[in-house]
Structure 1
């Protein structure tokens, strides 16, 4: 008995395909230059430090490698599906193994992993190098649930609270060293436009250096879940001229915010909360 032939459905009309392509081009053409620049950076924000390209280039390179591997794998899958599709009732020749192919997919990943490892280690050494004497040192304290900024060279400080974001002022073109510490739990000091993020450990100081090279207003945040009010651990960053930076330091002095703040250390054995106004805080 003959079986009915099953059709594959009507093929898409050439006009429909052309309409989709034209619509895609219109959408892409309507994007702003800023959006196109962001796509070229693969979703990274516009860099704001001299060191940012060290991370940005590594990010873009890793994505290029990932896309290359993806296209190769997808191509092989499509090729195998087409070349070895079922024809009639006879199955393609079945094999238990293929030494050349198995050798290829065992060796090929090393051609991706080795270059990525080399460039990652190289950039990491450059990014974490703090041997150069900085122009400005800021001791950053991450506490539940805000930030304290000690301008060591100016002997002034800025303290944030859950309800009031602190503002970090940095002079443009000056190398800044961030000394990171925490009195309570692990935080993570992150300014997305600087492309640099580093964890803030209690009892284990961390540090890194950057040189802001573009004036502007930026947002910083904690990138490590650190408790109930983790979402409140945001801060503003203002990269300004040297003259405006000096004015801000003078304003802190006039406000009586002189000296460096060393918040009390609180460990798991401590019965007192860090903030007297927060009796329900984590112990």
Structure 2
């Protein structure tokens, strides 16, 4: 390839790149940015405003790129050395210090910044808090970050002699209403992010923070901690489920009820433990969701609100007993049954959630058995295994540095605990 061909090749590649970038912008990038945590395909006014600022910035920078690229290509082609004599020729007249050129560049830069700044300032004011005209209709919740899961409190949904309604890792809200979220943390800095509904806002120790969002219609949305907060930061996730107002009211009424109790029977469950052998085994980094769940997660959530048809009451009763014996009640609460723990997720209606382990795994028998059996492999550094377990003597560190757990569960015990937790609808 001759050196003289390089400018032409560069020019062609520049035009192709610019065309591809323009096509991506015009199409909304939907052909490659429509995933669960897409910030391009949005579902609420806050995310829509933030996307608008993003595209304005993209257009401004694209125009700058095209202008600079065109000038560079023009200068490269016009002043390239065509002969050997040209390579030793005097450089062309320079325009350095030309006041018109420099003032023009300054003016163009100020104009570009202004085009970006005004929509950005408007977006900052708009997304900071619920617009005044909508505040009376806003619904309030409080989200608290832990290492590595989210605690949700509904201050306006009071339970008699208990306090506010509390859930974990799945935030259920009414669609079509502004949701004001108070952000708190109990340990380090976390960041609350629902890409399709609202941008990231930090949860800072000893400092109140907030954001708001609105889901335009019912849907199932993925959330994520967006601030590095420790060993399992990347798997600190949550879900937002938006429902029509009537369905949301029904969910609240159900959540206010004590934990569901399945009456034990004299039924023989001698073969029940053997069923555990059918539960899957997983590699440490195996995915946590089935393809079936991913097809329609909102329908999967609705299906989880109803008891399983093939429950084994005797096995559930055994699981409840094991839940007490292994001191799970020290950290967890199952309202109406046992436990007063606040350092771990509230499990009163855990069977009605689609996810476990801080939104990392699908809440089915296989994944729940995986989580109970090997929480350290699923979410390294989690307090259930290392922190609180070590304080209570369940986890010891050998002289070799090896960490050993003293909580020993048989396959049958894991199966019983799974049955009990899944019965808590």
- What TM-score does the superposition give when structure 1 sets the normalisation length? 0.73
Report the 3-state secondary structure (helix = DSSP H, G, I; strand = E; otherwise coil) of the residue aligned with 2:252: helix
- For 2:188, which of 185, 190, 215 is the aligned residue? 185
Structure 1: unaligned runs, 5 residues or longer: 1-5, 10-20, 160-165, 265-272
Shifted more, 212-221 versus 51-60: the winner is 51-60
Q: Is residue 2:244 matched to residue 1:235?
A: no
Cα separation, partners in 2 of 1:216 and 1:97, compared to 1, 3 Å: same
- Name the residue aligned to 2:49: 54
Q: Deviations over 1:78-136 (max 9, x none)?
A: 01111111243223325372413333333321111122112211221111134523431
Q: Is residue 2:208 matched to residue 1:205?
A: yes
Matches within 5 A, 1:38-49: 44-49=39-44
Cα separation, partners in 2 of 1:83 and 1:145, compared to 1, 3 Å: same
Alignment root-mean-square deviation, CA: 3.4
Does 1 or 2 have the higher relative contact order (CA < 8 Å, sep 6+)?
A: 1
Q: Is the 8 A contact 2:39 2:47 kept in 1?
A: no
- For 2:166, which of 154, 157, 162 is the aligned residue? 157
- For 2:67, which of 68, 72, 88 is the aligned residue? 72
Shifted more, 102-111 versus 177-186: the winner is 102-111
Q: Deviations over 1:157-193 (max 9, x none)?
A: 113xxxxxx2111111112110001111111100011
Cα separation, partners in 2 of 1:101 and 1:157, compared to 1, 3 Å: same
The alpha-carbon deviation at position 216 of structure 1 amounts to: 1.2
- What TM-score does the superposition give when structure 2 sets the normalisation length? 0.50
Shifted more, 50-59 versus 146-155: the winner is 50-59
Q: Distance in 2 between matches of 1:148 and 1:65?
A: 40
Higher helix share: 2
Q: Is the 8 A contact 2:33 2:40 kept in 1?
A: yes
- Name the residue aligned to 1:92: 91
The alpha-carbon deviation at position 262 of structure 1 amounts to: 11
The alpha-carbon deviation at position 233 of structure 1 amounts to: 1.1
Structure 2: unaligned runs, 5 residues or longer: 6-15, 158-163, 260-333, 344-382, 396-425
Cα separation, partners in 2 of 1:34 and 1:104, compared to 1, 3 Å: closer
Q: Is the 8 A contact 1:134 1:209 kept in 2?
A: no
Q: Distance in 2 between matches of 1:51 and 1:7?
A: 51
